[in-house]
Copies of this chain bind each other. A is one copy, B any other.
Amino acid sequence: MSRDRAPVALGPLTGPAESLADQAVAAIRAAVRDGTLQAGQLYSAYQVAGYLGVSRSPVREALMRLAEAGMVRFERNRGFRIVVPGAADIAEVFQLRLLLEVPAARRAAARPPAGLAAGLSAELEQMRAAARRPDERLFMQHDQRLHRLILEAAGNARLAALVDSLRDATRTLGASTAGRSRGLADIAAEHAPVIEGIAAGDPAAAGRAMSRHIARTGRLLVAQATAAGRPPGSLGASPAGGPDNGADLWAAADLQAARK
């Protein structure tokens, strides 16, 4: 090493921490949120590329990632479509979220990192504020952040990433549920006992509360999808499924059995 040289401490620049494909993913997610890309409608990677001012490659890559998450679906030589998850899809996603997020909440309560409870309370407060406006987009944003804090506290990065991916599959549902805005405050309230359980270091309570919250949300969305059928005319991919669709989120029942 050289002798005298001003020691410079610079972040390694992180490189292009955000490749065009990453940006495209974010842009498409945003476009779906605000309705620029409507669910059920057929689009092409061509137009999206032009719309974003980049070539088709990164757009295609972004779409493929989202397709793997179940948010979009490719139709060979036709285009791609924003997927409206059917009741069966919603049930699957929420079954998985139960399996993953409930233990995460327990873990977070058992070994809460410093400052976790404070961060959670802050997010909850933001959710309540957003519910009062009401601003559903903002609400969902803080909801996601709250859940993410818990998942990260569980200390398993893959778990957090997985749940993020699962949320993508049901992302179209949040914005499309008009008239449900009245329930935002209720949804926020469901998070309170989770936070209390974590703050109190009570894994069982935190897990129970999280289980209730997710199961309730899942049941509501499944029922909504089942009842509404296909209101606008979009076709929700409902592969198989059968009549006992969702099986009332068997994981919830499964957890009950395990807790016996």
A residues contacting B by CB (< 8 A) are 15-16, 61, 64-65, 68, 70, 76, 92-93, 95-96, 99-100, 103, 106-107, 110, 155-159, 162, 166, 203-204, 207, 239, 247, 250-251, 254-255, 257-259
A110 to B158 alpha-carbon distance, docked (Å): 29
Q: Separation in Å of the A212 CB from the closest CB of chain B?
A: 15
CB-defined contacts of A92 to chain B, threshold 8 Å: 156-159
Q: Separation in Å of the A73 CB from the closest CB of chain B?
A: 14
Known: A76-B15, A99-B100. A258 touches B157 (CB 8 A): no
CB-defined contacts of A103 to chain B, threshold 8 Å: 99, 251, 254-255, 258
CB-defined contacts of A16 to chain B, threshold 8 Å: 76
The listed residue with most B CB atoms (<10 A of its CB), out of A92, A106, A155, is A155
In the complex, which of the residues B95, B96, B157, B258 contacts A207, with contact meaning CB atoms closer than 8 Å? B258
The listed residue with most B CB atoms (<10 A of its CB), out of A70, A93, A257, is A257
